[in-house]
Amino acid sequence: MRLLIVDDSNIIRGKIARALGKYGLTIAGLETNGREAVERFREARPGIVTMDLTMPEMDGIECIRQIRAIDPTVRILVVSALTDKATAISALMEGAQGFLGKPFSEDDLCDAVGELLRGNHG
Amino acid sequence: MDEEQLRIFVGLVQFYFEHEGGEAAAVGSPFLGEPDALPVMDYTGVIGISGSRRGCVYVTSSRKLLQALLEFMGETDFSEANYADLAGEIANTISGNARQHFGHEFMISVPVIVHGHSTDIRMPNQVKAYVIPLHWRKFEAALVVSLE
C-alpha cells in the first residue's frame, strides 16, 4: 500500500518514512503543508495518509476535509502534538480514522498504522 | 502564570527529552527573566500562543544538544536546516502537548526559528517571562514561557 506523509517537520517526515518503510509501505509523497498534500494526493492516490495538524498554508483539518472529498475510502492517521481530547475528536469527526500524539516511538506508529489497516479505527 | 502551570511545562519538557532522547532533561530552578536578558542560544524555536491565553513559548538550545539529540534519534542529516527543524519541533511538541492542560482554545502557531543570539524574539509587553533551565546529558537548553 502507498503512503503519503504530511508534516512540516523534515525530521518527523523522515522518522515516519523510515518506520513505515520497514513496515512495508511504499512512500508516495512527503509534503510539508496541507495545500501541497491535497495536490499530491490527487496525483498519487495513496491508500493511507499520515497527517500533521499544525502546518503553514493549509492546516491538517482542512486538508483531511479536502482529501476525504477526493477519496472517501482513504485511511488517515493524524500525527500531532495537539494531544488534547477535543482536537482528537475534531480530527476523527472530519474523517481521520486514527490519532497518534507526538512525541511517538516507531512502535507506537506501527501499532497505530496496523490498527488503521485492520480497520480498528479510533 | 502560577506555579502549577509552570510545573505543567516542566513536566512536558522532561517527558519530551525522556521520550526522544532516552533520558529526561534535568531541570534547574525556574526564575523570572529580565526582558532584555532572556537566554537565547544557537537555535530557538518560538511558538506564538493565542486564544484562551496570549503570549509565547520558546525553547532555545545549544547546537551540541541538538546534534546529540539528532544522533540519538537516528538522524544522519546534520545540516543547519535539520538543527533548525528540530528546534522548532521541540517547541511545537511541548506547546501542543500543553493543550491537554490549558484546553482546546490554547492556540499555537507554527514554529518560527531564530538562529544565533538574535534579539528578534518578541516577547509580550508587560508579561512576566519564566525561564526554565534545562540540562540534557551534558548539554544546555532553556524553556521560556510568557503567558498573560
pLDDT in tens, B25-76: 999 999 999 888 899 999 999 999 999 999 999 999 999 999 999 999 999 9
pLDDT in tens, B103-113: 989 999 999 99
Give the integer Cα–Cα distance in Å for B91 and B87.
Answer: 7
What chain B holds in terms of domains, given with CATH numbers, is 3-147 (3.40.1550.10)
Q: Which residues constitute the domain of residue A71?
A: 2-118
Complex ipTM, two decimals?
0.90
Task: Classify residue B28 as left (phi > 0), alpha (psi -120 to 50) or beta.
Answer: beta
What CATH number does residue A55 fall under? 3.40.50.2300
Q: State the burial class of residue A24 (Cβ atoms within 10 Å of its Cβ: 0-12, 13-18, 19+).
A: exposed
**Over the range A38-62, which residues count as b (16 or more CB within 10 Å of their CB) and which as e?**
bebbeeeebbbbbbbbbbeebbbbb
pTM over 0.80: yes
Closest-CA residue of B relative to A9 is B85
**Minimum mean pLDDT range among A10-19, A39-48, A111-120:** A111-120
Domain count along chain A:
1
pLDDT of residue B1: 79
Checking if the pLDDT of A120 tops 80, the result is: no
Interchain contact, B70 vs A81, CB within 8 Å = no
Q: Is residue B115 within 8 Å of B85, Cβ to Cβ?
A: no
Q: What is the dihedral of CA A66, A69, A71, A76, to 10 degrees?
A: 50
Which of 58-87 (B) contact A at CB < 8 A?
Answer: 70, 73-75, 77, 81-82, 85-86
Checking if the pLDDT of B118 tops 80, the result is: no
Q: Give the mean pLDDT of A21-38.
A: 95
Q: Note whether B103 contacts A: Cβ–Cβ < 8 A.
A: yes
Single out the residue of B54, B44, B55 nearest to residue B118, CA to CA.
B44
